[in-house]
Amino acid sequence: MAVKEMYEKYLEEISEVSLFQGIERVDIEAMLNCLKPIVGHYKRSDYIVNGGDKYESIGIVLKGSATVSKENAAGNRSVMTLLKQGDIFGEIVAFSSVMTWPATVQAQEACEVLFLPRGKIIGDCERMCSWHRIFIQNFLRIISERAILLNKKVEYLTIKSIRAKICAYLLEQSKKIGSKKIVLPLNRNELADFLNVSRPSMSREMGKLRDEGVIDFHLTAVEILDFQALKNNMSE
Amino acid sequence: MAVKEMYEKYLEEISEVSLFQGIERVDIEAMLNCLKPIVGHYKRSDYIVNGGDKYESIGIVLKGSATVSKENAAGNRSVMTLLKQGDIFGEIVAFSSVMTWPATVQAQEACEVLFLPRGKIIGDCERMCSWHRIFIQNFLRIISERAILLNKKVEYLTIKSIRAKICAYLLEQSKKIGSKKIVLPLNRNELADFLNVSRPSMSREMGKLRDEGVIDFHLTAVEILDFQALKNNMSE
DNA sequence: CATATTCTGTATCCTCAGATACCGACTTAG
DNA sequence: CTAAGTCGGTATCTGAGGATACAGAATATG
């Protein structure tokens, strides 16, 4: 069966994708037969989708990596995300009324991409196959978690001063792992980027916090010495 | 039938809620019997849910209005949204792995709130009732659109200079309605708030743009005179 | 119509944070 | 082992934008 073999080739990769989490291998095969996805092959720097093109399917990177970039009204293109194997793209637009791709996806290295047609996902098949419920549940989870992440990002971006951003970030990290001692998951550049400030300015402020005895740190290892001061600083 | 009558009272309000868009009145009744929601009554300034409490249900405001507020680690409470009749809350958390309410909801005036249990929404009933598909589709749409909105917000917040923010905003508005002449949907305070800058600073920058002949404006009426200049300014 | 209140533009002052440059500590490659 | 590259801390300089204040326009209220 040609179609089956077409997917069989990628079954290993597909079963790793978060969208298919909790679905049996046999069911995945059944799903693929039902969803009738298309597999696209791309060479390095090929365009996978173009911003503004008609949106029809959700994409899943089976092999390789790709960049998501967006062009603003002035024509400047900036990279927003790097997609790796197993990553999904276009999942937020799928269920909205948006009809075109909001961004461009370009192969960074040779890529294989699975496209699931937007319409087939909710399922027009009469019977609700058992896997279909899990599939939709996965979808809801993925989109929700994206929204939660964006919400968190908005919170950080809304904070005015660098000092307050750092304090908020450190408190949250510390709370998450439940310890005074934190190992930052980002290096200085990435952290500065995440908080949307310049690296030297951030370092300067961290230095001040250290001088004041609020925190201590060496590279990515940070220790909170004075929680109260940290809390006071994040408000204003 | 007591249960039916309990919902019947609110059927008018419920059928207006976006979550039930496209579902027949009779089907809504069937749904409610299946979902077994709870209706809560609250007096002004009652707490409807408390941040940190166990999350169990999605809330829908049937009557009245309520505020959504969040407390940061320093203990400062700030209002994030105002919920009005027909608005939904807690819909993003419902399908994530988050187990507690991320924010507090408090009645601003006497409120009636419908709670739909988180677990019942995907539906464990064997047959996929016809309305259930639409219901889930509505859910996906609502959450997706929230994510898109947040994404847009992040884009604006990430822009560094006030000038670039204003230019980006004006270009987008103009593009949306397809005209040089825009009537802003926000007053200065709200716009400054949305762009996360101070009002006088924003006014100052708008004044400069006017002096340069890029735009002209009077209160909320803005006209774009030089698109090219606007585009050049939003990049840097 | 008169008064009160909210909204907007503008000026002044001053601080926070960006840009840039440089150095020392590590890492990797040859 | 040397050279080149990356990463983090720090200093200096400068300017963008925040805070504050006030006055005139617009709107609401009696």
With bands split at pLDDT 50, 70 and 90, how would you rate the model's confidence at B131? Answer: confident
Instruction: Output the 3-class SS for A54-88.
Output: ECCEEEEEEECCEEEEEECCCCCEEEEEEECCCCE
Contacts of B93 in chain A (CB under 8 A): 144, 148
- Per-residue pLDDT reduced to its tens digit, B42-101: 998 899 999 999 999 999 999 888 888 887 655 566 778 888 889 999 999 999 999 999
Chain-chain contact of B150 with A145 (C-beta, under 8 angstroms): no
Mean pLDDT of A230-236: 81
Query: Under CATH, which number does the domain A2-154 receive?
Result: 2.60.120.10
| Domain B2-152 CATH superfamily | Jelly Rolls (2.60.120.10)
Residues contacting A31, CB < 8 A, separation 6+: A20, A23, A129, A131, A132, A135
Decide if pLDDT at A2 tops 80: no
Give A167-221 pLDDT, tens digit per residue: 999 999 999 999 999 999 999 999 999 999 999 999 999 999 999 999 999 999 9
Domain ranges of chain B: 2-152, 159-235
pLDDT band at A137 (very low <50, low <70, confident <90, very high): confident
pLDDT tens digits, one per residue of A52-77: 999 999 999 998 888 898 876 555 67
Fold of A159-235: Arc Repressor Mutant, subunit A (1.10.10)
Q: Cα(B38)–Cα(B57) distance, rounded to whole angstroms?
A: 9
The answer to whether A2-154 and A159-235 have equal CATH topology is: no
Residues A26-45: tens digit of each pLDDT = 888 888 888 888 899 999 88
- Taking all atoms of strand D, which protein residues have CB closer than 7 Å? A 160, 187-189, 200, 203-204, 206-207, 217-220; B 160-163, 197-198, 200-202, 205, 218-219
Distance B52 CA to C9 C1' (A): 44
Structure tokens given for A229: 């001061």
Determine contact, residues B201/B162, Cβ cutoff 8 Å: yes
Chain A CB within 8 Å of residue B101 CB: no
Residue B114 burial (C-beta neighbours within 10 Å; 0-12, 13-18, 19+):
buried
Q: Strand C: which nucleotides have any atom within 7 A of a protein Cβ?
A: 7-12, 16-21
| CA distances in angstroms from B230 to B156, B175, B202, B216, B236, listed in the order given | 15, 13, 15, 12, 11
Chain A residue numbers with beta carbons less than 8 Å from the beta carbon of B95 are 137, 140-141, 143-144
Distance measured from the CA of protein residue B172 to the C1' of nucleotide C10, in angstroms? 27
Low-confidence winner among A101-105, B32-36, B100-104, B158-162 (lowest mean pLDDT): B32-36
B97/A191 Cα distance (integer angstroms): 25
pLDDT (average), residues B181-197: 95
Per-residue pLDDT, averaged over B32-40, amounts to 86
**Residue bearing the bigger pLDDT, A122 or B146:** B146
Higher pLDDT, B132 or B94: B94
CA atoms within 13 A on the CB side of A125: 16
